[in-house]
Amino acid sequence: MNKSILRYFIVILFVTLCLSSTISGTLISNNLLKSTEENLLYSLKLINYSLERDIPFDQQLDNINPLAYSDNTRISIIGYDGVVVADTYKEEVMENHLSREEVKEAIEQGIGYATRQSATAKQSLLYVAYDAGDYIIRISIPYRGILDHLPSLIPALSFSIVTSLIISFVLSIRLANKITYPITKINENLTHMGADFRIDLPYFDYDEFNEVSSTLRDMSHRLRKSLKEVQLERMKIDEILSQMNEGFVLLDERHRLLSINDKAISILGAMNIHDIVTDYVYYPELLNALTRDEEKQEVEIKVEGLIYVCYINKIELGTTLLFVDMTLNKKIEKMRREFFSNVSHELKTPLTSIKGYSELLAQGLVSDENQKITMLNKIQNEVNNMSRLINDILLLSKLENMELKTERISVHLGDLSQDILDSFIVEINKRELHVSVEHDDIEYICDPQQMYTVMSNLISNAIKYNVDQGYLNIKIFKKNNHVYIQVSDSGIGISHIDQTRIFERFYRVDKGRSRQLGGTGLGLAIVKHTVSQYKGTIDVTSVLHKGTTITVKLPL
C-alpha cells in the first residue's frame, strides 16, 4: 500500500509540475514579449527624436545602429507608400513594405507589432513599427521568446525541480507511512489475535481509525463473551455426557470422531478426536450398520459379557451412536421366559395325572372301589400340589411387585416357631425326628404372616429333606443388633454347586423327591425375597449326607 500511495503522489507531483511550468512559461513569455515590444517602441521614439530631417537618413542610421544592443538589430525608415527610404541592412533587396503587417498596423493605428520568420535572416524576428508623422520608422530584432532566456534559466529550473521532487518524495513517504500505520497496526492485531480474541490497539491520529479500533474492540469483547458462553455450554454437555450411563458418540459424515463419552470409550476403546471410527471398531455388526445408508438402526453387540443395544441415528451433521446396556433387561426377559416355561411345566404334570385319573373314572373303567378311592386321593393330592404352587407363584409375584399389603406388629419369634412346629407335628412324628428349640425372648416388629412363611418354609424343608430319626434344631438369638433364626437338620445335605442355586425359582436338587414331598421349588425364593425386604440376609451351610443349616439374619 505504501508503494502505491508513493506512486500516486509522484504522478500528482509530475502532473502539477508540468501544468505549473506550462502556465508560468506562457505567462512569462507573454510578459517578455510585451516588455520587449515596449522597449523597442521606446527605442523607436528615441530614434525619431534624434533623426534630423535635412540630413540623409542612411548616414544617420549608420551612426545610430552601433548603439543598438544587438548586432542583428535592424532599423528601417519606410515611406507611407511602402518604399524603404533608409535601412541598416542596405545590401538586402528592398521590396515594397506596404504589405507588411506591422507597417500596415502603424499606418492605421500609429504603432504596429509583428513576429515572423524572416526569409532573409532565416530566423524569427520581432518587428515594431512607429508612425513618426512623415515616415514609418521600424525596428526589428531576432526574437525567440522565452527560448532566448532558457540557457540562463536551466540551472535554476533544474535545481527547483530536483529539490521539490526530493522534498515531495520524502513527504510522500512520511505521509504514506502515517496513513498506513493504523492499517498495519490493525492488521497486525487481527493476524496475531490469539484463541482468546484479545486485541490491543493504540490511539491513532485519525478519528476514522479510532472508530474502527473501537468497533474492533467491541467485536473482540462480544466474541470473547460468546466464546465463554460456548465453552460453558460445552462443559455442561461434557459433564452430562460423562455422567451418562449410556455410551454416546458423535461422528461427522465421514465417520470421523467429533465427541465421545467415557462410557462409549469403555465399550469401543480409546480413540482421538478426528480419528476415523470405522478403523477402530471391532464389532462387525456395528461396522456393517455404519456403512448402511439407513436413517435409524439398532444393533446388538456383546462386550465383555454385557449386552448393549446401539441406536444409530443419521443426522444432518453426521451420525450419533447411543449404547444402552440391555444386559439386565435381557436377563429379566430370559428369567420371565424361563419362569413361564417352568410354571407351564409345573402345572402340566399334575394336570396330566388329574386328566388321566379323571378320564379313567369317568369312562367307568375302574370298578374296584378301593382303586377308585386311591385315584381320587391322587387327584386330590395333585390338586393340593397345584393349589400350593399357584399360591406360591402369586405370593412370589406380589413380593416381586411390592404389591403385598403388610402390617408391622410385634411378633414373639419363639412362640411363632413353636406354632409352626405344632403344625408339622404329624410329619415330625412320622419321621420320628428329634426336635429342639432354643430361643431368646425376642419380640420382632414384622408382618406375622410373612414371618410365618419364612420360618415354616425353612422348618418344612428341614423336615422334608431330613432322614428318619434325624435331628431338627431351631435357634433364635440376638447378636450385634441382629436377630438370627437358624434351622439345622441332619438330612441329605446340599452339594456346594447346588447351594448357590437353591434360592432360584423352581430350582430343586431332586425334582422327583421334592414333588413327591409336596414341594413347589419356590419356597426358598419366597424366603429370600421376604428376608431382603427386611434388609436381612440368608446363608446356607451344608455337608452332603450330613445335614444343612440355614441362617436368616434380620436387623433389629
- Ranges within 362-381 binding ligand ADP (CB under 6 A): none
Instruction: Using the rule CB under 6 A, give the single segment among 199-207, 295-303, 378-386, 520-528 that binds ligand ADP.
Output: 520-528
Instruction: Using the rule CB under 6 A, give the single segment among 309-317, 394-402, 412-420, 501-509 that binds ligand ADP.
Output: 501-509
Instruction: Using the rule CB under 6 A, give the single segment among 36-44, 101-109, 225-233, 455-463 that binds ligand ADP.
Output: 455-463
Residue number, 65 or 381, with CB nearest to ligand ADP: 381
Question: In this chain, which of 73, 417, 461, 530 binds ligand ADP, going by CB under 6 A?
Answer: 461
Q: Is residue 246 within the footprint of ligand ADP (CB under 6 A)?
A: no
Residue number, 105 or 489, with CB nearest to ligand ADP: 489
Q: Is residue 247 within the footprint of ligand ADP (CB under 6 A)?
A: no
Give 536-556 as a 3 state SS string. Answer: CEEEEEEECCCEEEEEEEEEC
Residues 6+ apart with CB under 8 A from 230: none
Residue number, 164 or 541, with CB nearest to ligand ADP: 541
Question: In this chain, which of 182, 470, 491, 536 binds ligand ADP, going by CB under 6 A?
Answer: 491
Residue number, 389 or 446, with CB nearest to ligand ADP: 389
Question: In this chain, which of 411, 494, 531, 554 binds ligand ADP, going by CB under 6 A?
Answer: 494
Cell representation of residue 233 = 455450554
CA proximity to 331, closest of 306, 297, 367: 306
Q: Is 343 exposed, middle or buried (0-12, 13-18, 19+ CB in 10 A)?
A: middle
Contacts 24+ apart (CB under 8 A), 119-123: 120/89, 120/92, 121/72
Q: Is residue 465 within the footprint of ligand ADP (CB under 6 A)?
A: yes
Q: Is residue 509 within the footprint of ligand ADP (CB under 6 A)?
A: yes
Q: Is residue 385 within the footprint of ligand ADP (CB under 6 A)?
A: no
In whole angstroms, how close is the CB of 424 to ligand ADP at the nearest point?
13
Q: Is residue 182 within the footprint of ligand ADP (CB under 6 A)?
A: no
Cell representation of residue 366 = 375302574
Beta bridge partners of 84: 78
Q: Is 389 helix (H, G, I), strand (E, B) or coil?
A: helix
φ, ψ dihedrals at 259, nearest 5° = -155, 145
Q: Is residue 420 within the footprint of ligand ADP (CB under 6 A)?
A: no
Q: Is 365 helix (H, G, I), strand (E, B) or coil?
A: coil
Q: Is residue 346 within the footprint of ligand ADP (CB under 6 A)?
A: no
Handedness of CA 334, 337, 343, 347 (dihedral sign): negative
Question: In this chain, which of 112, 182, 247, 521 binds ligand ADP, going by CB under 6 A?
Answer: 521
Question: In this chain, which of 132, 538, 548, 552 binds ligand ADP, going by CB under 6 A?
Answer: 548
Q: Is residue 528 within the footprint of ligand ADP (CB under 6 A)?
A: no
Question: In this chain, which of 112, 182, 247, 523 binds ligand ADP, going by CB under 6 A?
Answer: 523
Question: In this chain, which of 47, 290, 492, 554 binds ligand ADP, going by CB under 6 A?
Answer: 492
Residues touching ligand ADP, count (CB under 6 A): 23
Task: Give the separation between CA 458 and CA 523, rounded to whole angstroms.
Answer: 8
Q: Is residue 489 within the footprint of ligand ADP (CB under 6 A)?
A: yes
Q: Which spans in 87-244 are helix H?
A: 101-109, 150-191, 207-243
For the chain, counts of helices (H) and of strands (E) = 15, 17
CA proximity to 319, closest of 247, 270, 272, 253: 253
In whole angstroms, how close is the CB of 288 to ligand ADP at the nearest point?
45
DSSP E strand stretches across 268-420: 296-303, 306-314, 318-325, 409-412
Q: Is 19 helix (H, G, I), strand (E, B) or coil?
A: helix
Q: Is residue 520 within the footprint of ligand ADP (CB under 6 A)?
A: yes
Q: Is residue 277 within the footprint of ligand ADP (CB under 6 A)?
A: no
In whole angstroms, how close is the CB of 318 to ligand ADP at the nearest point?
54
Placement of cell 431338627 in the chain: 472
β-strands 537-543, 547-555 pairing: antiparallel
Residue number, 380 or 516, with CB nearest to ligand ADP: 516
In whole angstroms, how close is the CB of 314 to ligand ADP at the nearest point?
51
Give 255-288 as a 3 state SS string. Answer: CEEEEECHHHHHHHCCCCCCCEHHHCCCCHHHHH
Which residues of this chain interact with ligand ADP, rule CB under 6 A?
457, 461-462, 465, 489, 491-494, 502, 507-510, 514, 519-525, 548
